[in-house]
Structure formats: C-alpha cells, structure tokens
Structure 1
Amino acid sequence: MDIPAHQKRIATSIGLAIIPALALIFQGWVLFTALAVLCSFALWEYYDLFRSHQGIKTVKSLGTAFAFLLLGAFTTGDLIYPAVVIVFAFWVAAFIFLFRYSTDMTASFVQAMIFLSGLIYIPVNLHFFLNFSPAECILVIGAAAVSDTAAFYAGSMWGKKKIWPKVSPKKSWAGSLGGLTACVIGTTIFGSFLGTAAIWQWILLGAALNIAAQMGDFFESALKRSLEIKDSGRFLPGHGGLLDRVDSLLLVVPVYGLLSAMHPFFQ
C-alpha cells in the first residue's frame, strides 16, 4: 500500500524523536553515542554530495574517524583538545594532498577542504549538545522541528509567493512566516514554564532560532543545487537523507550556544 508523503514525514519524525528522547533520559555515554552516530551518518551523506570528486571514499573514512575524535575531545571540557584534533585533521589532509601531488600534479586540494568543512559543519556545530542541559536540548531540537513542520504545512496551504526561488524553489513567504510564528510561540511557552528569562527575551530567542533554522535549510538547499543533487540520501522515508532532516538544526544549535553564553535562559 502506498503511504502518502506527509504520513511518511510524520512517522519518520516520531521515530526520530524517540532516539534523542532516550539519549536525554540516560545522558552520559548514551547521549555521546547517539550524537556520534548522528554525526557519522550525516557526515557520510555530506561527503557523498561531492561524490564526483576524486578521493571522496578516503575522505568519508577519515571524516567518520575524526568525528569520533572531535566529539571525544569536546567531552574533556578543555578547548585545547578539540583544537589539536582540528589542526591534526588539517595536516593529515595536507600530507595526503602532498603525496598525491608528488605523483600526480593534477591532484587537487579540494578534497582536503571538503574533509575539513564537513568536520566544522557537523560535529563541531553539534558538539554543544554535550554541554546543554536536557531542557536546552529539548528547546533547540523543538525549535528546529517546529520551524520546519510549521513552514511545510503553512507553505503547502497558503504558499504562493516564493521567498528565494533561486536557492529553494518550493519555499514561500507564507511558509517562512508560519515557521517563524510557530517557533516564537513554542519557544515562549516552553521558556515560560521551564526557563528563567523574561518573556520578551524568549520571544526574541524564538525569532533568532527560527531565522537560524531557515538559513541552515537554505544553505543545504543551495549546496545541493550547486551539485545538482535533489536529496542528500534516502535514509529517511518522506524526508530524503538524514542531512536533509538536520540541516536547520546545524545552525540552530551553535546560535543558541552563543546566545545562552551571552545571556542564560535557564538557571
């Protein structure tokens, strides 16, 4: 029996919610493992976007290994360790290029840049989860999910005028405003019950997180269009690839990390 696309989206979203829920309940190594697995799958899809470039198979393997090293380094609480891992990753990529270039002068440094950009884009952006409280984890995941879901349905029902057709032809102003409204309302309600900041601060936070979610989505859309790829993968029914599902979260997480460092929303 053929299942409608929106039902697949709902079923997939529910299934995905179970994993972070269990990770938040048990915390510790369970949260680390869940985050490491998420980063590994998302990185694999990210590198696969550049499948037409030579040497991407090596990049995939290296990226997955360094994702675990990076997340492990972040658990120490000392920034010197992840900095060392990133520097080490650069020189590993640089030496691979060096030796390839010594035998083939057409070798390109592009693969090294793809490798390093993947580490920054995914594990570095998501490592903040390791320092968030359960309430903060729920907040950022919920903000990204509500933004995406409300934008999808508002755009489907009322979307006519497109917001940025050259980047994402399907996204409309109605969807954008629907996602913004839902995120601000959801964030404010959540913060009113569990947070310690003022209402107006939660409203501004909701708006900031929604803008981050939309820009994260637009970035991945532009990247895929530049590479002439529709979906990052087929891992999730109704959503495409895992990267397609977490693209907005990849900017929401660091934005909240920055804002919460400037002004705590929970005590």
Structure 2
Amino acid sequence: MVCLLRFLLPASLIVINDIFAYLFGFFLGRTPLIKLSPKKTWEGFIGASVTTIISAFLLANVMGRFQWLTCPRKDLSTGWLYCDPGPMFKPEHYSLGESVPHWFPWKDLAIMPVQWHALALGLFASIIAPFGGFFASGFKRAFKIKDFGDSIPGHGGITDRMDCQMVMAVFAYIYHQSFIAPQNFSVEIILDQILRNLTYEEQKYLYEQLGEMFHERQLGQN
C-alpha cells in the first residue's frame, strides 16, 4: 500500500528545483554549468540545490500532518481518510538543551521520521535528477530538434516537462522499497537464514531461549 505523499513529495521537489534553478540562474547566473544546456548556470544549480533540500525537510512536515496524504491506500474508497498513518508520520522530540542561547524560543524540536527520508529525496532531486534534463537536452541536440513536442505552448511537450520526473520516480520507488517499506519475512526464510548464518552452538542457544520464552508466555496466559 502507498500513500499520496510518496507520490506528491518527490514530484513537488522536482518542480521546486526547476523553479529555483530558473530564479537563481536568472538573477545571479554568471557561470555556465554544462554545454548541453547553455542556459544552466552553477549559481542556479547550487541555489536550487540548497533550496530544494530545505524545502524537502519542511514540505515533508507539512504534508505529514494531513491524513488524506499519509493514509495507506488500496483503492479509491473514502475509508482511507481516517487511519493510523504509522510511526513514519509521528513526531519525535529532540531536546536542544544548552546548545542554544537562552533567548532562543525553541528548546526542543519535533521532527517526523519521514523528514529525514525527505532529505535524501531532496538531495537526489537537486543533484542527480537534473541530469535527466541534461540527457534529454543532449538527445534533442543530437537530432537537431528544440522540443519533443508542442502540446504545452512555450514549454514543448509532455516529455520535455517529465524528463527529470521520470528519473526521480525511479529513485523514489527504489528508495521506498529499500529503506521505508516493511520487509515481509516468511518462516521458511527465517529458518533458512538461521541454518546458513548461525553455528550449531548458536542455533542450540536460540532454541533454548525460544523454549523459555514460550514457557513464560504460557504461564502468563494461565
């Protein structure tokens, strides 16, 4: 099951990165970044990267407050509007202690675990994903065309707008499956790992410990 936040957050970060790359490049751009995209500048790239990473951290906090974005979904029914979104969206409190001046208004911070993951998405969206656009630019130059299409006036076609999004979508899926999605282990898989990785003495110790745990649980139920 997935929630809307896992789609909207990565997509929003690409949009934010594009917008601020343009703004920083327009107002501060002096140094060309890559020949494939003559209008790209180092100033725009760096400014957009910093802005995107900060935005990822803050945007994850804002989105994580709405259940219609965080509730897991299986279908288009309305039951998913109310749920327990899980520990990923429950704030954890970090005390700043004496590391901040006495006049500082916040003595502790409430940060959702999803915000730490959002930093990884923001880092990818700002540093790696733009190369999807660079690749698309090189592809168009090779075929001597300006845009892939003309369905969006002034912006080309859908592919011209989605080049970075496609790279980001692949990364977001792999990251989610690797670091966020719960892993399902069957009894057969666990037993196989025990037999492969534990010595005979360790297996015997595990067996004895499990026996004691089951015995204590039975006594507790009686």
Instruction: Say whether the fold is shared (TM-score over 0.5).
Output: yes
Distance 1:139 1:265, change over 3 A: farther
Counterpart in 1 of 2:186?
A: none
2:15 maps to which of 115, 120, 145: 145
Preserved contact between residue 56 and residue 115 of structure 2 (Cα < 8 Å) = no
**Unmatched segments (≥5 aa) in structure 1:** 1-130
1:220 maps to which of 121, 136, 141: 136
Distance 1:200 1:134, change over 3 A: closer
Once the two structures are superposed, what CA deviation does each residue of 1:34-58 show, in whole Å capped at 9, x if it has no partner?
Answer: xxxxxxxxxxxxxxxxxxxxxxxxx
Preserved contact between residue 235 and residue 241 of structure 1 (Cα < 8 Å) = yes
| More helix per residue | 1
Give the C-alpha shift of residue 200 in structure 1.
Answer: 4.3
**In 1, distance between residues paired with 2:131 and 2:38?**
15
Preserved contact between residue 48 and residue 126 of structure 2 (Cα < 8 Å) = yes
Give the C-alpha shift of residue 199 in structure 1.
Answer: 4.5
- Residue 188 in 1 paired to residue 57 in 2? yes
Once the two structures are superposed, what CA deviation does each residue of 1:206-255 show, in whole Å capped at 9, x if it has no partner?
Answer: 11122232111111011111111111121112212211111110101011
Distance 1:137 1:202, change over 3 A: closer
Q: Secondary structure of the equivalent of 1:239?
A: coil
1:163 maps to which of 19, 22, 33: 33
**In 1, distance between residues paired with 2:116 and 2:3?**
22
Once the two structures are superposed, what CA deviation does each residue of 1:80-116 show, in whole Å capped at 9, x if it has no partner?
Answer: xxxxxxxxxxxxxxxxxxxxxxxxxxxxxxxxxxxxx
Residue type at the aligned position of 1:168:
S
Report the aligned-residue RMSD: 2.1
Distance 1:220 1:201, change over 3 A: same
2:121 maps to which of 181, 191, 205: 205
Preserved contact between residue 130 and residue 164 of structure 2 (Cα < 8 Å) = yes
The percent of aligned pairs where both chains have the same amino acid is 27
Residue type at the aligned position of 1:190:
L
Distance 1:199 1:139, change over 3 A: closer
Preserved contact between residue 209 and residue 256 of structure 1 (Cα < 8 Å) = no
Q: Secondary structure of the equivalent of 2:156?
A: coil
1:256 maps to which of 156, 166, 172: 172
**Unmatched segments (≥5 aa) in structure 2:** 65-88, 90-111, 183-222
Runs of 4+, deviation exceeding 6 Å: none
Rg (Cα) greater in structure: 2
Q: Secondary structure of the equivalent of 1:248?
A: helix
**In 2, distance between residues paired with 1:233 and 1:198?**
37
Distance 1:139 1:200, change over 3 A: closer
Distance 1:201 1:220, change over 3 A: same
Distance 1:265 1:197, change over 3 A: farther
Preserved contact between residue 209 and residue 255 of structure 1 (Cα < 8 Å) = no
Distance 1:211 1:135, change over 3 A: same
Give the C-alpha shift of residue 152 in structure 1.
Answer: 1.1
Preserved contact between residue 10 and residue 121 of structure 2 (Cα < 8 Å) = no
Counterpart in 2 of 1:33?
A: none
Distance 1:139 1:212, change over 3 A: same
